[in-house]
Amino acid sequence: MDELSLRLFKFSSAGFCCAQIMYKLALEDEGTQNDDLIRAAQGLCRGIADTQQTCGVLSGGIGVLGLYAAKAKEEESAKEDFTQMVTEFHEWFNVEFGATKCVNLIGVTDFHGIDQSYKLTCAEMIKKAYVKVYEILLEHGYEYGNRR
């Protein structure tokens, strides 16, 4: 098992969901943590508020891009390439996985049932999406792991 798979397994086993894992990976890679962000991300999981709509891997990936390039303070603006990066990631996600809705991606409507096999599908999606976010950031001149 590769290092990213081990990290995913650790976070999933600890009860974190897809969007939270996307953020936890990014924060861990830069040597920081942000419990408030991880708490807030839980609402994005399982298709936003357990509605099986927009996939948490997609929204989490967009959020990680936002950590680097979105507006955070009154006196600043989003970086010029933020919208372009979000569009690139969204389009890639839709092509790569064939959908953006959780229910269409994994076909699960009961996340609390006995069958947890969907987690393998989600883990593969997280791995691919996480690598793609990393690639997009590098292509746009960001130093991954260093938002300063």
**Confidence at residue 51, expressed as pLDDT on a 0 to 100 scale:** 80
Q: What is the pTM of this model?
A: 0.91
How far is the C-alpha of 136 from the C-alpha of 94, rounded, in Å?
15
**Confidence at residue 121, expressed as pLDDT on a 0 to 100 scale:** 81
Residue-wise DSSP of 90-123:
HHHHHHHHS-SBHHHHH--S-TTSS--THHHHHH
Write out the chain's pLDDT in tens, 148 residues: 699 989 988 998 898 999 999 999 999 999 999 999 999 999 998 888 878 889 999 999 999 999 999 999 999 999 999 999 999 999 999 999 999 998 888 876 666 665 566 677 888 999 999 999 999 999 999 998 888 7
